[in-house]
Structure 1
């Protein structure tokens, strides 16, 4: 598993920055993606993929333990679609 701190350390090492500067950059990128998602905007990172907000309608589901029907509220969720370049590098 890769953590935010590990990504920040890699950015800092690759670009001659301090760890604090690297962490600030990584956090700013995540904040920009979050801001775009909360406003319903798609974020596209060429060569990596797209983050999109998807609306899921209200639906009925079943509790598997009791068999009772319950309503699941409508929600918004964040989806990620990898770019072709990323998919190709994963499948080499």
Structure 2
């Protein structure tokens, strides 16, 4: 498995793809990240065409177990961020 692309590498690749400088590409990447964070934290969802959908889902209160001690306890309801990968991306990876 290849190493994940770092933010520096992503900014450089984005700048090359956009035909702009790294500073502009970095600002664009930061703006997209902030927009996604704000939208999902507010209960919305963001669809990135060709990549997937990022959304927040609520999990109900449930019984969980501490694997170290075996003790069961009730975990409060919480929220979790989910990503559904687009079919186009799955198809491009699988062949």
TM-score where L is the length of structure 2: 0.89
Q: Which sits farther off after the overlay, 67-76 or 25-34?
A: 67-76
Listed as ranges, the gaps of 5+ residues in structure 1 are none
1:85 aligns with 2:92: no
Give the equivalent residue in structure 1 for 2:51.
48
Q: Note the C-alpha offset of 1:5.
A: 1.9
Q: How does 1:1-92 map to 2 (within 5 A)?
A: 1-92=4-95
What is the aligned-residue RMSD (CA, Å)?
1.1
Moved over 6 A (4+): none
CA contact (8 A) 1:4 1:26 kept: no
Please give the alpha-carbon distance, in whole angstroms, between the structure 1 residues aligned to 2:69 and 2:16: 54
CA contact (8 A) 1:41 1:53 kept: yes
Aligned residues: 92
Q: Note the C-alpha offset of 1:42.
A: 0.9
Listed as ranges, the gaps of 5+ residues in structure 2 are none
